[in-house]
Structure 1
């Protein structure tokens, strides 16, 4: 069994639902732009079947296919924002927990600029 199929078969239900919703959202964005699947697939440089798998929420579709779809839809920047540090509340909480509880005033030696 390949790594991709093992990873896809081990996804929890909430992840599968999220991928399915992502596919539906891509299909809706395509339809709002009045782009037929054939034309969208051509612009993405993939087959119509691959686009259909993406829109159906197939978790084995590659990240490059998703990135290509977002490019065609004019939404490339949203891919970079998926796990942006500013929106990572758990990571921010961890950083805050690691801050020192007390600080000290700098001594004269620490101000050598």
Structure 2
């Protein structure tokens, strides 16, 4: 599969990735960890960490998740698509829920 070009992403998605990268950089600096140290701990190149911090959409989810874990932020990753906080999905599910029960006929064996 061909990698997704950065320019093919909607502006809001690009903005979200940029903000995520900036937040990761801030978290790393607050912990006084260099790019090289974080890369070594994550088992990736320093360039990959820089790409992540620059909001590159080509960096894998595994690398992102591991980086969050190394920075002590993994709990946030677990909340990203939490089904209990999916307002749209919950509303759609409620809308499609049956209003009445069907009569079930039991057959004698």
* Pairwise same-fold verdict (TM > 0.5): yes
Say how many residue pairs are matched. 105
| C-alpha distance after superposition, 1:17-69 (max 9, x if no partner) | 00110000000000111111111111111111110010011111111110111
For residues 3 and 63 of structure 1, the distance between their equivalents in structure 2, rounded to whole angstroms, comes to 17
Question: Which runs of 5 or more residues in structure 2 are unaligned?
Answer: none
The normalised TM-score by structure 2 is 0.85
Residue 89 (structure 1) aligns with: 87
Residue 11 (structure 2) aligns with: 13
What SS does structure 2 have at the residue aligned with 1:96?
Answer: helix
The normalised TM-score by structure 1 is 0.82
Moved over 4 A (4+): none
Residue 46 (structure 1) aligns with: 44
Residue 71 (structure 1) aligns with: 69
Residue 3 (structure 1) aligns with: 2
The 1:87/1:101 distance shift into structure 2, 3 A limit, reads same
Question: Which runs of 5 or more residues in structure 1 are unaligned?
Answer: none
Aligned-residue offset at 1:102: 4.2
Aligned-residue offset at 1:9: 4.0
For residues 21 and 3 of structure 2, the distance between their equivalents in structure 1, rounded to whole angstroms, comes to 18
